[in-house]
């Protein structure tokens, strides 16, 4: 297996991505979450690349993709953008991923969505249902019952975007919170490599990244507002769905996985004994579930 590490120009924005597998094989697009990047898929990519063309981009402001300064820019596919400023919203992140797939010529693909990758992937599916061959959601929520009380400080900021409520969220960006995200719900924390979380902390510590992340935490309310539209997409188009969940996730609880059956009754729901970053401990199990699922549907 050969993994390639690439950078592509997407309307003036330099987007880093990993790819593996034959270019003519069915495509699986991996979308990472907060506060990580495509390196979170380092153990999953080898599980898939024998049969699939796997593509994993870093989102703007994450990983090795360009981090433009915050600004009022509203992304437009009709003209090239300047990398000097960028408005960090989930709609703009979705537009970048949309154009990224077009620049790479990815006409149809299965989605793997996790955490922040879920609202981006589901927005993409609502926009282009004909492109989506299947959806794998690993702790990627799109139901109210999947949101835990851990979101209470973020919801307070949605309701009152004051400086005090914004500053109260800075703890989400601290190394101890990253450590918690990686290890909570794991039977043995010594099974979790420090490499991923330390790399995440490195990227979070970049100048200006804290404000970018706070912007996105505030904008996350737009994702919750879209839950109804996303669920309508699932009911209408009935894409094949595999929800494979770290059952001890403190943020997105198992009810969020089970809820997929309400809109896609034939959805395959599975749980692994892990937390939020389930790939850190169960990449082999999740990879095997994906191969079985994708072989049936893609």
Residues belonging to the active site: 276
On whether the CB atoms of residues 20 and 4 are closer than 8 A, the answer is yes
Backbone dihedral angles phi then psi of residue 86, each to the nearest 5 degrees: -160, 135
Q: In Å, how far are 30, 70, 110, 116, 210 from 8, measured between CA atoms? A: 16, 21, 21, 22, 25
Length of the chain: 298
Written in H, E and C, the secondary structure of 56-72 is: EECCCCCCCCCCCCECC
- Tell me the C-alpha distance between 171 and 296, whole Å: 43
How many helices and strands in the chain, by DSSP H and E? 13, 8
Q: Distance of alpha carbon 144 from its chain centroid, rounded?
A: 18
The Cα 131–Cα 26 span in angstroms is 12
For residue 26, what are its two tokens? Answer: 């069915």
HEC profile for 242-274? EEEEECCCCCECCHHHHCHHHHCCCCEEEEECC
């Amino acid at each position: 297996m050969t993994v390639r590490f690439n950078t592509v120009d997407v309307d003036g924005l330099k987007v880093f991505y990993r790819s593996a597998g034959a270019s003519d094989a069915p495509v699986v697009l991996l979308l990472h979450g907060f506060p990580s990047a495509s390196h979170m898929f380092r153990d999953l990519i080898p599980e898939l690349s024998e049969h699939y063309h796997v593509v994993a981009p870093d989102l703007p402001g994450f990983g090795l993709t360009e981090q433009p300064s915050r600004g009022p820019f509203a992304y437009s596919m009709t003209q090239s953008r300047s990398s000097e400023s960028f408005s960090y919203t989930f709609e703009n992140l979705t537009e970048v991923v949309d154009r990224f797939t077009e620049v790479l010529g990815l006409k149809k693909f299965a989605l793997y969505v996790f955490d922040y990758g879920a609202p981006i992937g589901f927005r993409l599916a609502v926009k282009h249902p004909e492109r989506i061959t299947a959806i794998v959601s690993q702790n990627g929520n799109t139901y109210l019952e999947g949101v835990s009380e851990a979101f209470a400080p973020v919801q307070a900021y949605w309701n009152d975007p004051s400086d005090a409520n914004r500053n109260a969220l800075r703890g989400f960006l601290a190394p101890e919170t990253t450590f918690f995200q990686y290890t909570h719900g794991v039977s043995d924390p010594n099974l979790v490599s420090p490499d991923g979380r330390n790399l995440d902390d490195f990227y979070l510590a970049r100048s200006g990244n804290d404000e970018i992340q706070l912007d996105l935490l505030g904008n996350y309310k737009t994702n919750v507002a879209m839950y109804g539209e996303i669920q309508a997409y699932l009911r209408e188009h009935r894409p094949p769905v595999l929800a494979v969940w770290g059952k001890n996730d403190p943020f997105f609880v198992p009810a969020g996985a089970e809820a997929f059956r309400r809109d896609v009754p034939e959805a395959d729901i599975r749980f692994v004994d892990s937390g939020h970053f389930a790939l850190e401990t169960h990449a082999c199990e999740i990879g095997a579930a994906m191969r079985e699922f994708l072989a049936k549907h893609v």
